[in-house]
């Protein structure tokens, strides 16, 4: 993530100091030059350290910002998940209610179908019984018509006999 330059280690600084020639053999100018060089090294070290700390702090701020975004996103996702779970529970309850209504309707249809079949069976039985009674009644009617014709013929015969007898009686009396 970062392109930090490594800080010079204390071991490096100590090595730099130990490589300096002993102070006794140096002139005042040489010592001054060495002191300036050491101060430059110290300044470079401090500048590098400050820059590294600044970069680390900036990276930390960026990480905290991203963490905050991730936490906010997580919170939103958890809220959405809770909402979806509640919707799912409501949908499941509605589905159970619809399934119960469907099963009730199926049972009612089955009951009505059974009643219709029973009524159709009774209707068929009544129709057959009615047809049989109709046939029996037709036979009775036919028999009665035959008897009526026979009786009518007998009445006519008796009427003719009666007329004949009356004519004979009138002829005998007269």
Kindly report, residue by residue over 107-157, the tens digit of the pLDDT: 999 999 999 999 999 999 999 999 999 999 999 999 999 999 999 999 999
User: End-to-end distance of the chain based on CA atoms, in angstroms?
Assistant: 161
Cα gap 7→30, rounded to integer Å: 27
pLDDT tens, 35-53? 999 999 999 999 999 999 9
Q: pTM value? A: 0.45
The yes-or-no verdict on residue 167 having pLDDT over 60 is: yes
The yes-or-no verdict on residue 3 having pLDDT over 60 is: no
What pLDDT shows up at residue 16?
60
Check: CB of residue 55 under 8 Å from CB of residue 4.
yes
Cα gap 101→117, rounded to integer Å: 24
Residue 10 binned pLDDT confidence (cut-offs 50, 70, 90): low
Burial (CB count within 10 angstroms: exposed 0-12, middle 13-18, buried 19+), residue 54: exposed
Q: Encoding tokens for residue 99?
A: 């399934």
Handedness of CA 113, 118, 119, 123 (dihedral sign): positive
* Owner of token pair 């979806």: 84
Cα gap 131→163, rounded to integer Å: 46
Residue 17 binned pLDDT confidence (cut-offs 50, 70, 90): low
pLDDT more than 90, % of the chain:
78
The residues spanned by each domain of the chain are: 10-163+167-173
The yes-or-no verdict on residue 160 having pLDDT over 80 is: yes
Check: CB of residue 16 under 8 Å from CB of residue 44.
no
What pLDDT shows up at residue 73?
98
Where b means 16+ CB within 10 Å and e means fewer, 68-87 reads eeeeeeeeeeeeeeeeeeee
DSSP H helices in the chain:
10-18, 28-173
Q: Which of 28-37, 81-90, 140-149, 152-161 has the highest mean pLDDT?
A: 81-90
């Amino acid at each position: 993530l970062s392109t930090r330059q490594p800080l010079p280690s204390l071991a490096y600084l100590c090595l730099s100091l130990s490589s300096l020639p002993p102070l006794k053999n140096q002139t005042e100018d040489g010592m001054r030059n060495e002191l300036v060089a050491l101060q430059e090294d110290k300044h470079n070290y401090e500048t590098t350290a400050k820059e590294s700390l600044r970069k680390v702090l900036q990276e930390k701020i960026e990480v905290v910002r991203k963490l905050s975004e991730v936490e906010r996103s997580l919170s939103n996702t958890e809220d959405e998940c809770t909402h979806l779970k509640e919707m799912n529970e409501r949908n499941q309850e509605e589905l159970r209610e619809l399934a119960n209504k469907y099963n009730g309707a199926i049972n009612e249809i089955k009951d009505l179908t059974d009643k219709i079949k029973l009524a159709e069976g009774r209707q068929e039985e009544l129709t057959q019984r009615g047809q049989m009674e109709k046939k029996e009644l037709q036979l009775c009617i036919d028999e009665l018509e035959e008897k009526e014709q026979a009786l009518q013929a007998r009445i006519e015969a008796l009427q003719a006999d009666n007329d004949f007898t009356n004519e004979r009686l009138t002829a005998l009396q007269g």
